[in-house]
Structures are given as C-alpha cells and as structure tokens.
Structure 1
Amino acid sequence: MSVPGKYSAKKMEFLDRNGNGIENGGWSNNMKKEMVYTFDEALDLAGRGWYTYGLMAFIVLAFQGLALDMFGISVVLTGACDLNLSHYQKSVLLSMPLIGSITMAWPWGFIADTQGRRKALAFSLWGSFILSSLSAFSPNWIVLAVLKFGCCSLSSGTQSLGFTLLGESCGQRLRSPVMIIVTTSLISVYGVYTVIGYFVLNLDVSIDLGFITFSNWRLLILIFASPLGLSAALLGLIYESPKFLLSMEKEEKALNILKKISDINRGGDSSYPVKKIVLNETSTLRLKNIPLWQSIKDQTFPLFKPPYLWRTIQLFYITAAIYCSNNGFFVWLPFVVDTFYSGYNGNGTAGASVCDMIVNSNEMDTDTGTCVGTVKELALWMGVIQVLAYITINTGVSLLSRWKKSVMVTIMTMVVICGVLIPSVTNRIASIVLLNGFITNSLCIAIIFSYYVDIFPTSYRGMAACLGVMVARASSLVGINLVGSYIDSHCTTSFYAWSAYIISGVVVSLFLPSDNLKPQS
C-alpha cells in the first residue's frame, strides 16, 4: 500500500536543485501535485527486504576480507618459518597493515565524497585483493612488507566506505540495528582467522615454484584474500548511494535507484510513490574546475570549524579510546593464549593471576629461536568460543540499538570493570572470561561509526568517516606498541591505566546527542 507524501514546511535549510532556499511560495503547482518527500522519508518508503539483506551480506563479506587481510598477518607469520624472521622483522610486518591504512585514510574520504561510495569501494576491493594475492608469492620479508602496506592502504577504505554506503541506503529505523549486526564481521575476526589458521597451517603443503616454495602459510594468505575478491565481484549487484547522487544534483538517478531498491525489497511491487525529493542540508554544491588541493581542503576544513568542530573532536576521542585499548590487546592475544597454555601446565602458577603468569612466562622464556609453525589447540577453542559469544552478545545489542548511546556507555563501563579485575583474579575460567570481556570494546565500533553517519551531512560524511578510520588505525598502532612494551614488565599498571583511559571515553560519550537524534540528510 502506498504511503502518502507531505509537503515540506517553510524551512530555509531545504534546498532546491540549484542550492537555493525554497519558500512556500516557490513551490510550483506541478511540484505540489508530485508530493515532495524528504530523503529519509523517501528511503523509509523503499522498505526493507531482499536488497537490504543483500547489502548487509555484501558489507559483511567485505568487512571480513578487510579484517582478515589486516589482522590475519599475525597468524600467517606463525607459519612463515622459511622466511627466518627476526623479532624486529615480525614487528615491521605486523605494523605495515596499520601504517598503510593510516596513510590512505584521508584520500579515501576525498574520493568517497567526490567520486561516489560505490566507485571508491570498487577500487579499494579490487586493488587490495590483487596486492594481497600477490603477497602470497613474496620471495622475502621485504617484498611481503611492501605488498601488505599497499594492500592495506587500499583495503583501509572499505570500512568507512561500507559503513557510509550502508547508512545511506537503509531507512532511519533500520540504520542503527543493521550497522550493529554488520559489525559482527569485525569483532569475530580473531576467532575466524584462528580457526582457519589452525587447519591450514597443519596441512602439509610444499610446491616448488622455482623462485619460492609454495607452503601452507602462503595458501593461508590466498584464503584470507578471497573475501576481498568475492565481494569485489559482487559489487556489480550493489547500487550507488542515492543520497550521494542527490547531493551531487542527480535527482533523477537517485529516484531511479530508490525505485529499484523498493522493487527488490517488495518483490517487484512498482507502487513506489516518490516523485520529488528534497535534501535538507545547508549546502551540497561543489565548485567545478578548482585545484585538487582546494577541493580536498573544502572537504576537510569544515569538519574542524563550527558547527562541527566539537562533534569531530568528540567522536575522534571516543574512537581513539575504543581502538587504542581494544586493538592494542587484541593483537597480543596470541601471546596471552600462549601464556595460558604454558602457565597452566605444571609451571608452578597455581593461584596466580594473568599478570603473574605473564611475568613468570617472561622469566622462564629461553627463546631458543625455534619456529613452531602451527596454531595451538587452546587458541582454536578460544577463537570458537569468542565467535559464538560475540555473535550472541551482538544480537542482543542490535535489539537495543534504539538506545545506542546507553548501550555504548554500558559496554565501555563493563570493559573498565573487566580491566580492573584482571590483575587480581586467579581463577583460570574467570581470567579467560575477563580477558575476552576486556576486548568487547569492539562491539562499540558500529555504534560510534553510526554517529559519523548521523551527525555529519552527506557532503562531508565520507571524509568524516575516513578520517575516523585514520584516527582508529593510528590509535591501534599506538596501542599495539604500548601494550607490547609494557604488558610483560608493568602488567598490573597497564590494565589499570587502560581502564582509566576507557573511563575517560565513557565520560566523553555522555555528551553525545540523545538517542532520538535525527540523522543529517
């Protein structure tokens, strides 16, 4: 059944196709007959159905490819015994994905806001898939590092572009729950790459290609790259963001896409009533034939001036608090798992806390230089448990998405409680639960990026989200190095310090807009 439209009230923030404010007297008789809708109204009328679910599945696949490519390198290096890597070389290789993603975050924002979300995604997915596949044939660690840098420079745009496309293609009521559900693909990556790595690294693969011997860890790289290639191929089934097209004065194309989305969602029903859309933004026009640097500046500087300055700083700080703590400890989980594996097997650590075991493991480490080449079974089971637990928790979070601010504050507070308790708890099961609880900040990823979609207008949203990703990756890089430097020597202090940092993020989160915020168009 068609839903009637309504005429827009007299508000100067509504713009016509030439960027001029529309007065009530400015409506022509034909426009009145066409029924004018705001963009969110038009998007809600497109409904929810097969296109919505297909877009969600596509974004999940793309995000999983991004995460596997970026974080799976830690498992890949476990099996790369033939490269004879030193500790320094491993550190460089582990840093390359994050350095690459930081380098390209700003350009991705510019590309997304000027060329479109879909075109930018195509370049990101295809480019990262090709470079990631080539890295499987690296003859030495330097070539591997260069290719991983390039690969993650390209794939870094996937997260912000995906969130932006998803947020601009789903109705207001669907936006938050859909984005939270999609985040499962990111928070479950540790379990996914651990499980895959366990089985692949235990395979006996050895193929002489002349310049290299193709072994199991090289096969693992190709497997981790496959979601990027598959999602790139499926991008042909995804439409451009109709809001982006509308902001670029392509109203007819935007309407055609909204009608196609409505037809797919409603099973071929062609009764989509919208004939005219108005975009409630203060400015959506861009000057043509201006220098590239001026165009980039015009996309960036407004985010750091009123009225967006406070919100930009606020979101960047919360993003840093989430990523710095979460990813910092996330990357070091294999080390912690190894500590559990050795610490609870007759090494005199009965009644010891996690920090006691880490110190004890560090003192007993003789570092023989032997490359194990496999993933321990304990890590496999922890990965499986983590995936199941996160999916369950994330489903609950999605049901509460209308209260996303309260949910985020609650999750971050629980993370703080886990961090404070970890150094003093001596029970094995409780320690594992608290350690997993301490990295559940990742459940806030979709929530914080949904604010980038809601707070900033379409013309700056892609840049804001990509700069948010740059802050996220830079914070992760800092967190990884801080955790690696101090976890073994100042374990207890580290957990307390990180908990204090996260609680500061909670305080800043309290000043976010209320949960009934209406997104910028």
Structure 2
Amino acid sequence: MVAKLNKVAFEDALTMTGFSKFNYYVFLLCSSIIMGMSFEVYSVSYLVPASVCELDTSSSQQGLMAATPLIGIIATSHIWGYLADTRGRKKVLCTSMFLGFITGALAALSPNWIVFSVLKLCSSSAVSGCFALSISLLSECTPVKRRNTLILLTSSVFMSCTGIMAVVAIPVLRLDFSYHLPFLDIQFNSWRLLNLIYTIPCAISSIGLLFAYESPKYLLSVGDQANAMKILREIFAINNAKDGDLYPVNSVVLEEDQAANIEGFWASIKAQTVPLLRPPLLFNTLILAAMFVTVYLSINPFIVWMPFLVDNFMKSIQGGADGLSFCEMMRAAQNDTETHVIETCALNNTAMILVFATGMVLAVISVFMSMLINCLGRKNLLIGLQVFAGVSALCLNFSYSWILSAILFVGFISGTLNFGLLSSFSVDLFPTYVKAMGVCLTLMVGRGSGVFGINLVKNLLDSNCEVSFYIFGSIACLGGVIGFLLPSDKKLSDRNKLV
C-alpha cells in the first residue's frame, strides 16, 4: 500500500505525475490547435493576392481583406477568455476549432471579396481565443520545470506555420483547373482549393480535443476536487506506465485566489474582468498589453504581408536589380508588375520557397532559444530579441546589398518569436481563475493595434516604404525598453513560493 499525501500544493502534485508521454501528447495537440488558428488567420496572406484576378480587388480592398481576421479576433477574444475560465479549456477549444473549420471552409465558396471577408471574420472570431487557451491548457498540464520550454516551443510551431503554408501554396496554386459551380456562379479553382486545405488543422484539432483531458488545475479552481484528482492519477499512469492507484497524492490544494460564485451572465463577465483592471493585477495587465502592442503593431503586419514583400523582392532580383535598397527593390518590382499585368495574380515560386525557409529558420532559432531560456532568463531574451529586431529594421534602409537586406529583414521579423516569451509571462502573471481571460484580453489589445498596422504598412509600402521601417523599427525598440518593467524569473519564483 502506497502512503498517500494530503493537501499537496498543485504544482508539487503535478510534478509528481512525471514528464513523459502525456505531456508530449498535450504539446502535439496544442501545436495542432495553434497551427489551425495560424492557418485560418494568416491564410489571407496567400489567398488575398492569389484571388486578385477572380475577385478583382483593389489595393485598399486587399488591405481590408487581410485585416479582417484580426478584427474578428479583437471582437471575440474577451468572450472566449470568459467562457474558458467559466466552462473549461477543453470544451471551449473543441467548439472553437469546429466552428473555425466550418466557417473557414465556406470561405472557399465566396462569390466576391465582401462574402470572403465576412466568412473570414466569422472563422477568425471562432478561433480568436485558441492561442491563449491552448497555452493555458499546456501550462496547466506541464510541470513547472519544463513549462517555459514547452511554451516557447509553441513559437517554433507558430513560425513554422508561415513556412508550411508557403510550401503548400506552391504546388496548389500552380494547378490549372477551373470548375464552374452554377448555383453560386463561381469558378472553383486553385486558390479556393488552397483555402480548403488550410482548414484541415482545425478539423484535426477538434477531433483530437474530443479525446483530451480537461485541465486539472482549472477543475481545482472551480472546486471539482474529485475530477482533478482523477485526471492527475490518469496522467501519472500514462507517464509512468503504472496503475493510477500508485499515485502518492490523496488530495490537492490550489494555493492562489479563486473565483467567487457569481450568478448571471453579465455579472459573471464583470467578475472575470474587473480583477484584471485593478490592483494587484492591473500593473501586470498594463505591462503585458503594452508589450503585445509593440510586438503586434511593429512586426505582425510584416508577417501578414511577408509573401507579398518576398514576392516583390524576388521579382526585383530576377529582373536584374542591383545596388538597390530594400524599398527601391519593392518599387522596381511594382513598376514591372504594372507593365506585365498578367503576372499580378501569380506568386513567385522561389519567393514562396524563401518564405518557407524563413519560417523554418525562425522555428529552429525558437528551439535553440528554448534550450537557453533557463540559462539566460526569459526577460533578458525578450529584451535582447526586441531590440535586435528594431535595430535591424532601422538599418534596413541603409543596405544596398540584397543579401544584407534579406538578413536584416529576417532579423526584423524574428521579433515575432517574442509571442512565445510573452505568452509564458502571461500564464505566470495571472491566477488560474482569470488566466484565460487575462491572456485573451492582453492579446486582444495587441491584435487591435495589429489591424491598424496591417493597413498602415500596406499604404506605406505603396507610398513611402522607407518611413514604414523607421516607424515600426522604433516601435520595436520601444518594446525592448518596456520589457525592463517585466519581473525576472527569480522574482516570479520567489513570489510563487510565498503564495
């Protein structure tokens, strides 16, 4: 008979379950969820330029189409965070992924750009909370010693998504077929097929979530001790290949503030939101929101338009451009496109390969960072990466070598790796009963700035490209300065010991 411990702190109880198969399964599931969300939100980077000829969209309309997913995310992130904190991570994620698949697939049948934008608004609204909720689920199922590493590895998944989407787009967009659908009066062609392919991860994730466990920490936070213990025993059994009855814990306590029982929908939303907007959580909310704004506003727009930028970059090189700055190469490619209108709907294959390579390089860097995070510290990595990205953008206009320009551009967008670092701070700085809401709320503020940035970048690239890199590079550097206000890992660890 195994001696059972009573009233064990949750983090200690989770550590006693071990780290093995179950944790890898959860990481793969959360990676699939993040991939589904990324494919749905960033698919516009490939679908908008590929659909230009058929949908006959102007530059401003393309900007609206590209920004629509972020608008959907802003509109509903708060709701998904509330639902996850009151209904559970698993149930909300499963519903979200299923709705994202259905509405995303319907976008493939859009007769015009307005219907396409509305359906993308619906699909992005459906998956808007998935990144934050999957991070919450992953963190609440992972022992603290491995938590930061796994969360940071989600950045690798996120960055690889851009590259995977580019590789998928190359053969699909080259397919030469067109089937008339009389009931919609549209031609079903390659870009519509690509849209359908991009929805597959959402479908896979929704199925995978049916077989997943709820977060034991969430169950404990809502007072469901019995089911929390049941899941912890099952995690122990999976990780150690032993009978769950051998798990040496009999009862668990959650050593943090818990939600009060509130009746009524609006009263419940208020109860989940107000703690984030008053001390002691207000400072954390403001700092994380400011950090997400600097990352989303400065770097995310260039991620969205990266296929467009790299496409023009390669067209300029293949056109014989030499001794030009990055922005001069953009203008040269645009002028050439206006002369050869037939090419406006085609994405350069070499450019797509470069997008893939860029995504993979950043994914590898993220893996390398996950190995260094415990040595260098999250705060130091975040500040260094943010400043490096900003300086790279500021220097880009002074480079007249296409090789150096390419390196500086990749250095600039490498700042997107801070999404993972910021997410790891989010799950540590907010207590369980408002964690999903806190992560969703701060992400929502950042993504709101991203909508503005996407449209501004597109207009600046057409009118005054150089200014765009000065503005957004400066904002990225500002994020590095704000990063000094974040707590260090040691301070967080000491605080958790006192809780």
Shift in Å at residue 369 of structure 1? Answer: 5.3
Give yes or no for contact 1:133–1:221 (8 Å, CA) kept in 2.
yes
CA distance in 1, matches of 2:364, 2:337: 37
Could you say what secondary structure the match of 1:204 adopts? coil
Whether the aligned pair in 2 keeps the contact of 1:198 and 1:374 (CA below 8 Å) is: no
Does 2:331 correspond to 1:356? no
- Is residue 188 from structure 1 mapped to residue 163 from structure 2 by the alignment? no
Amino acid corresponding to residue 514 of structure 1 in structure 2: S
1:375 match: secondary structure = coil
Matched, 1:205 2:177: yes
Q: CA deviation at 1:372?
A: 4.0
User: What is the letter of the counterpart of residue 147 of structure 1?
Assistant: L
Corresponding residue for residue 202 of structure 2: 228
Larger proportion of helix: 2
Secondary structure at the aligned position of 2:439 is classed as: helix
Q: Deviation of residue 514 (structure 1)?
A: 1.2
Separation in structure 1 between the aligned mates of residue 293 and residue 110 of structure 2, nearest angstrom: 33
CA distance in 2, matches of 1:201, 1:373: 10
Write the deviation string for residues 349-389 of structure 1: whole angstroms up to 9, x where unpaired. 42121123234445666377546443212212212321331
Checking the alignment, whether the CA contact within 8 Å between 2:299 and 2:472 is kept in structure 1 is: no
Q: Which amino acid counterpart does residue 53 of structure 1 have in structure 2? A: Y
What are the equivalent positions in structure 2 for 1:36-55 lying under 5 Å apart? 36-55=7-26
Does 1:273 pair with 2:245? no
Aligned amino acid, residue 37 of structure 1: V
Counterpart pick for 2:312 among 336, 339, 345 = 339
Aligned to 1:282: 257
What residue number does 1:455 align with? 429
Please point out which of 267, 279, 303 is paired with 2:276: 303
Point out the more displaced range, 135-144 or 35-44: 135-144
| 8 A contact 2:325–2:401 mirrored in 1 | yes
Residue of structure 1 aligned with 2:449, choices 475, 500, 504 = 475
CA distance 1:439–1:305, change in 2 (3 Å)? same
Query: CA separation in 2, counterparts of 1:455 and 1:284?
Result: 16
How far apart, in 2, do the equivalents of 1:389 and 1:417 lie? 19
Counterpart check, 1:165 vs 2:137: yes
Q: What letter corresponds to residue 75 of structure 1 in structure 2? A: Y
Asked whether the equivalents of residues 180 and 394 of structure 1 are also in contact (C-alpha less than 8 Å), the reply is yes
Q: 2:189 corresponds to which letter in structure 1?
A: S
CA distance in 1: counterparts of 2:382 and 2:260, whole angstroms:
35
TM superposition score normalised by structure 2: 0.93
For residues 434-479 of structure 1, give each alpha carbon's deviation from its aligned partner in whole angstroms, at most 9, with x where no partner exists.
Answer: 1111001111111101111101101111110111221232121121
Q: Provide the residue aligned with 1:10 in structure 2.
A: none
> Helix, strand or coil: the match of 1:487?
helix
Correspondence for 1:109: 81
Distance 1:372 1:364 in 2: 10
State the shift of 1:214 in Å.
1.8
User: SS of the residue aligned with 2:328?
Assistant: helix
Query: What CA distance in whole angstroms lies between the structure 1 residues aligned with 2:409 and 2:154?
Result: 23
Asked if the contact 2:169–2:194 (Cα under 8 Å) also holds between the matched residues in 1, the reply is yes
Change in Cα spacing, 1:407 to 1:210, as seen in structure 2 (3 Å) is same
Q: Contact 1:197–1:375 (CA<8 Å) still a contact in 2?
A: no
Q: Deviations over 1:173-226 (max 9, x none)?
A: 111000111221211222111111111000123233322332111111110000
Letter in 1 for 2:23: T
Q: Which amino acid in structure 1 is aligned with residue 477 of structure 2?
A: I
> Alpha-carbon deviations, 1:282-324, whole Å to 9, x = none?
333322xx22111111111111111111111000000111111
The alpha-carbon distance between structure 1 residues 437 and 69, as it changes in their structure 2 partners (threshold 3 A), is: same
- Choose the corresponding residue for 1:318, options 291, 308, 321: 291
Superposed, which structure 2 residues align to 1:73-112 within 5 Å? 73-80=44-51, 81-112=53-84
CA-CA distance at 1:55 after TM superposition: 0.8
TM-superposed deviation, 1:90: 2.2
Task: Detail structure 1 runs of 4+ shifted over 6 Å in the superposition.
Answer: none
What RMSD over aligned residues (CA atoms) do the two structures have, in Å?
2.1
Match of 1:21 in 2: none
**Contact 1:201–1:373 (CA under 8 A) maintained in structure 2:** no
Q: Note the C-alpha offset of 1:330.
A: 1.4
Please state whether the residue corresponding to 2:223 is helix, strand or coil. coil
Distance in 2, matches of 1:79 and 1:175, equals: 39
- What residue is the counterpart of 2:27 in the other structure? 56
Q: Are the counterparts in 2 of residues 247 and 285 from structure 1 also a CA contact under 8 Å?
A: no
**Residue 458 of structure 2 corresponds to which residue in structure 1?**
484
Using the size of structure 1 for normalisation, the TM-score is 0.89
Per-residue deviation at 1:404? 1.2
In the other structure, the counterpart of 1:12 is none
CA contact (8 A) 1:126 1:229 kept: yes
Tell me, in whole angstroms, the C-alpha distance in 2 between the residues paired with 1:354 and 1:272: 60
Letter in 2 for 1:67: S
Distance, in Å, in 1 between the alignment partners of 2:243 and 2:407 is 49
**Rounded Cα–Cα distance in structure 1 between residues aligned with 2:111 and 2:461:** 34
Paired residue for 2:303? Answer: 330
5+ residue gaps, structure 1, are: 5-32
Q: Following the alignment from structure 2 to structure 1, what is the Cα–Cα distance between the partners of residues 339 and 150?
A: 46
Hey, what's the Cα distance between the residues in 1 that align with 2:301 and 2:319?
29
Give distance in 1, aligned partners of 2:346 and 2:238.
46
Question: 1:123 offset after TM fit, Å?
Answer: 1.1
Whether the aligned pair in 1 keeps the contact of 2:392 and 2:409 (CA below 8 Å) is yes
Structure 2 SS opposite 1:510? helix
Q: Distance in 2 between matches of 1:497 and 1:86?
A: 25
Shift, 1:413, TM fit? 1.8
- Structure 2: stretches of 5+ with no match in the other structure: none
Q: 1:502 Cα deviation (Å)?
A: 1.5
| Identity among equivalent pairs (%) | 33
Alignment match of 2:347 (pick from 375, 379, 385): 375
Moved more, 87-96 or 157-166: 87-96
Where 1:239 maps in the other structure, the secondary structure is: coil
* Equivalent position amino acid for 1:191 in 2: G
- Distance of 1:475 and 1:370 partners within structure 2: 35
Whether the 8 Å contact between 2:45 and 2:66 is mirrored in structure 1 is yes
